[in-house]
Amino acid sequence: MTAELATEPVGPAALPAACALLIRFFREEGFATAPDGIARNLEAMLEDPSCWLALARSGGAAAGIVTVSIMRMVEHGLVAELGDLYVLPEHRGRGVARSLVAAAASWSRARGCSAIVVTVTPEGEARHRLSGFYDRLGFATTGRTIRERRLS
Ligand SMILES: CC(C)(COP(=O)(O)OP(=O)(O)OC[C@H]1O[C@@H](n2cnc3c(N)ncnc32)[C@H](O)[C@@H]1OP(=O)(O)O)[C@@H](O)C(=O)NCCC(=O)NCCS
């Protein structure tokens, strides 16, 4: 029998499970943020009303995570950005990510966002063919690129 899937917002009690998933995600994908930085940033997100995190559980065990943050801009008003999306390898291909993204979209819509966006890194594209995944979930390419200047 397939374990039942459920999605829930992350509160303080689920923070360690959320943190463990993100530490694993960052390690597997090669993101530089250290575990203590991940934990600090997650705690700050829980306190910030413009951010939201949700866990997917399979038969009660943590199976995936999504984080979303809202930005306010002149062009589109409020826009949500999917910051992190990760599903444990053994739970992939069962609609876990689809349900996490649906939950994030619904939270963002309820807060007045006009769109939800995501950044696909070249590494993510090479490893997981993320453009095909986001096509399936209705995210169109914009042709715009992201540039970054570090502020130290
Ligand atoms: C990408 C990832 C989140 C997908 O999770 P998942 O739970 O397996 O995805 P789902 O089962 O919900 O799939 C949703 C749809 O996308 C499709 N899909 C899933 N992975 C895909 C891929 N790599 N390429 C193309 N399509 C894909 C599924 O077939 C499904 O299509 P359908 O529902 O229309 O039939 C997961 O592979 C993962 O965690 N990868 C590593 C982390 C990562 O790269 N995260 C994204 C950061 S931007």
Report residue 54 as tokens: 């949700």
Q: What does residue 75 show for φ and ψ, rounded to 5 degrees? A: -65, -45
pTM of the model: 0.97
Instruction: Report whether residue 103 contacts ligand 1, using a CB cutoff of 6 Å.
Output: no
Is the Cβ atom of 27 under 6 angstroms away from ligand 1?
A: no
pLDDT, position 142 = 94
Per-block mean pLDDT, blocks of 10 residues, the chain (152 long): 89 97 96 96 97 97 98 97 98 97 98 97 94 97 94 90
What separation in Å is there between the alpha carbon of 126 and the centre of ligand 1? 14
pLDDT confidence of residue 6 = 96
Q: Which atom of ligand 1 is nearest to the CA of 82?
A: 48
pLDDT of residue 152: 85
DSSP secondary structure letter of residue 60: T
Task: Report the distance separating Cα 79 and Cα 74, nearest Å.
Answer: 10
If you take atom 29 of ligand 1, which residue's CA is the nearest one?
A: 93
Handedness of CA 133, 134, 136, 137 (dihedral sign): positive
**Residue 1: per-residue pLDDT:** 60
